[in-house]
Structure 1
Amino acid sequence: MASTEKKTLYTADATAVGGRSGHVRSATGIIDLEMSVPEGLGGKKGATNPEELFAAGYSSCFQQALLVIAQRAGDKLDPATEVKCSVSLFQEGEAYGLAAILDVDLKSFDEQKTVEMVRQAHTICPYSVGTRGNMEVELRVKGKAIPVKAEDNAGVAKDN
């Protein structure tokens, strides 16, 4: 079995000023964006929001996890493979929360193989691991929801 020692591979730094109606900039300067409340909630056009940035990060990270799963199995993903991530902001009482939907289209694999690969990717993707037990994440294949075990989703943190 592989070592369970934690090894930091990379650290990203970003600074926000002004909250949802401010500005965010990464330490590298690659991200340098105006922030706003989502336009549908009264925000301004031409600015992004934390949910949009989270969706972009989660979708790209999840697709990388799929690439790893495929490689481990000796497979290759179709270059047109897509992972769409929808992140919803909700209010529950006085608190706010997030929920995500990951919708995967592997293009070249049948549904059964795609479902298995999506489930495996959900176990290794850093975003999935980081949100497990903290937010609901729905997995879909070409728009069709696939079952997720309670211990692999919100509400039940895994005991190690």
Structure 2
Amino acid sequence: MSVNVIYKTSATATGGRDGSAKSDDGSVDVKLVVPKEMGGPGGVGANPEKLFAAGYSACFLGAMKAVSGKESVKVPDDATVTATIGFGPRDAGGYGITADLQIAMPGVDRADAERLVHAAHEVCPYSNATRGNVDVGLTVV
């Protein structure tokens, strides 16, 4: 697979799931906390799943906007994408994640919204990165 890279960024984590992570330009600087459900103390802080949910939801909404012209469906200004990321042990060993995206497009016909969502799923970088590896659910609400 070949990608013509037009943008790069980086972030560095220290301390693992109960440390911190910071982007190379400092615009992202988060404290990481292991959730209680995963045996940690919980409390205020992010974790890789929260960061993935934020990134996937933003990227997917961007993909919807990118394909909206081709699909002749305008994405309303108040459209939202909520990504719910699950974490747990895999039957084959190790751990895996799931992703469920809930897409709200107020005022848009459901069939048009679903057509746009499926087109966006084909071009979204997160969707392409997870395809075949992560169960991704798409629901227009």
TM-score with structure 2 length normalisation? 0.91
Q: 1:58 aligns with which of 38, 56, 59?
A: 56
Q: CA deviation at 1:35?
A: 0.4
Distance of aligned partners of 1:6 and 1:92 in 2 relative to their CA distance in 1, 3 Å threshold:
closer
Query: 1:90 maps to what in 2?
Result: 88
- CA root-mean-square deviation: 1.7
Distance of aligned partners of 1:30 and 1:39 in 2 relative to their CA distance in 1, 3 Å threshold:
farther
Gaps in structure 2 of 5+ consecutive residues: none
| Aligned 8 A contact 1:77 1:108 in 2 | no
Q: CA deviation at 1:80?
A: 0.5
- Aligned partners of 1:127, 1:6: CA distance in 2, in Å? 14
- Aligned partners of 1:60, 1:109: CA distance in 2, in Å? 19
Which amino acid is the alignment partner of residue 124 of structure 1? V
Q: Higher relative contact order at CA 8 Å, sep ≥6: structure 1 or structure 2? A: 2
Size of the aligned set, in residue pairs, is 139
TM-score with structure 1 length normalisation? 0.81
Distance of aligned partners of 1:5 and 1:23 in 2 relative to their CA distance in 1, 3 Å threshold:
closer
Q: CA deviation at 1:17?
A: 0.6
- Within-5 A mapping of 1:78-117: 78-93=76-91, 94-117=93-116
| Aligned 8 A contact 2:73 2:113 in 1 | no
| Aligned 8 A contact 2:32 2:46 in 1 | yes
Q: 2:47 aligns with which of 46, 49, 53?
A: 49
- Aligned partners of 2:72, 2:115: CA distance in 1, in Å? 15
Query: 2:26 maps to what in 1?
Result: 29
Moved over 2 A (4+): 39-44, 71-76
| Aligned 8 A contact 1:69 1:117 in 2 | yes
| Aligned 8 A contact 2:73 2:116 in 1 | no
Q: 1:38 aligns with which of 29, 32, 35?
A: 35
- Within-5 A mapping of 1:116-131: 116-131=115-130
- Aligned partners of 2:71, 2:137: CA distance in 1, in Å? 24
Distance of aligned partners of 1:5 and 1:101 in 2 relative to their CA distance in 1, 3 Å threshold:
closer
Moved more, 12-21 or 67-76: 67-76
